[in-house]
């Protein structure tokens, strides 16, 4: 097994992600997102990756969260996937932009109703009295929306990470791993192999 080099790293990402979906992982879309605040202090947390195309990698979150404050102060981020059964890691770094309201609305509408209500109930990253506080808010919003359509909260949307660097790492015996690193230039993507 070897890394199959493509001109476009997004093509290679899709190829690996298709494998990740069938390798037995419960959540192959789980990925570590790193941001940094205005002082440069980094922080990382898991998120769920939703889609990737030539424009970048999309995830959704609460706009009142710490990570969004970081992205407002410093609109750059990194993602790191690790699919253990495959021995594969993908690293992505770049600048971020908000997704359009239409795109966020369409994705929100596709979520299950309980998750839609959960988005309304959570004041993500804010302190709460206790877990019951969240359950009470979820119950209140469930009553408020009844059987009507749950609209997307204005404080919930998505970000797109526009990659300028991507790296593919494949586990090999005796730590002789393969690393293929892509950098975006004005002419397009440049790929080079790095020592592991």
Ligand X SMILES: Cc1cc2nc3c(=O)[nH]c(=O)nc-3n(C[C@H](O)[C@H](O)[C@H](O)COP(=O)(O)O)c2cc1C
Give the residue numbers annotated as catalytic, written as ranges.
175
Closer to ligand X by Cβ: residue 36 or 142: 36
Is residue 51 helix, strand or coil? strand
Query: Looking at 38-46, 106-114, 157-165, 168-176, which segment touches ligand X (CB under 6 A)?
Result: 38-46
Q: Can residue 65 be called a binding residue for ligand X (CB under 6 A)?
A: yes
Q: State the nearest-atom distance from the C-beta of 128 to ligand X, in Å.
A: 13
Which among 100, 29, 97, 35 has a CA at the least distance from the CA of 66? Answer: 35
Give yes or no for residue 152 binding ligand X (CB under 6 A).
no
Cα 123 to Cα 107: distance, rounded to the nearest angstrom:
20
Task: Identify which of residues 59 and 182 has a Cβ nearer to ligand X in the complex.
Answer: 59
Instruction: Identify which of 99, 88, 92 has the alpha carbon closest to the alpha carbon of residue 15.
Output: 88
Nearer to ligand X, 46 or 147 (CB): 46
Residues in 106-145 that interact with ligand X by CB under 6 A = 124-125
Give SS3 for 65: coil
Pick out residues in 94-113 that bind ligand X (CB under 6 A).
Answer: none
Q: Which is nearer to ligand X, 61 or 74 (CB)?
A: 61
Looking only at residues 71 through 90 of this chain, which bind ligand X when binding is defined by CB under 6 A? none
The set of residues, in sequence order, having a beta carbon less than 8 Å from that of 85 and lying 6+ positions away, is 23, 24, 25
Question: CA–CA distance from 54 to each of 19, 87, 91, 96, 188 (Å)?
Answer: 20, 25, 16, 14, 12
Q: Contact positions toward ligand X, by CB under 6 A?
A: 27, 30, 43, 45-48, 59-62, 65-67, 124-125
């Amino acid at each position: 097994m070897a890394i199959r080099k493509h001109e476009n790293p997004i093509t290679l990402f899709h190829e690996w992600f298709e494998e990740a979906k069938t390798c037995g992982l419960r959540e192959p879309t789980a990925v570590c997102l790193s941001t940094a605040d205005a002082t440069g202090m980094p922080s990382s947390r898991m998120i769920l990756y939703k889609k990737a195309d030539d424009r970048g990698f999309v995830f959704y979150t609460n706009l009142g969260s710490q990570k969004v404050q970081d992205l407002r102060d410093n609109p750059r981020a990194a993602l790191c996937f690790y699919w253990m059964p495959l021995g594969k890691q993908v690293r992505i770094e770049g600048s971020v932009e908000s997704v359009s309201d239409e795109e966020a609305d369409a994705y929100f509408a596709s979520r299950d109703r309980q998750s839609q209500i959960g988005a309304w109930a959570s004041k993500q990253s804010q302190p709460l009295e206790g877990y019951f506080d969240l359950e009470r808010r979820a119950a209140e919003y469930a009553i408020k929306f009844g059987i009507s359509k749950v609209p997307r909260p204005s404080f919930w949307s998505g970000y797109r990470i526009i990659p300028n660097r991507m790296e593919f790492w494949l586990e090999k015996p005796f730590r002789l791993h393969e690393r293929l690193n892509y950098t975006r230039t004005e002419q397009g993507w440049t790929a080079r192999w790095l020592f592991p």
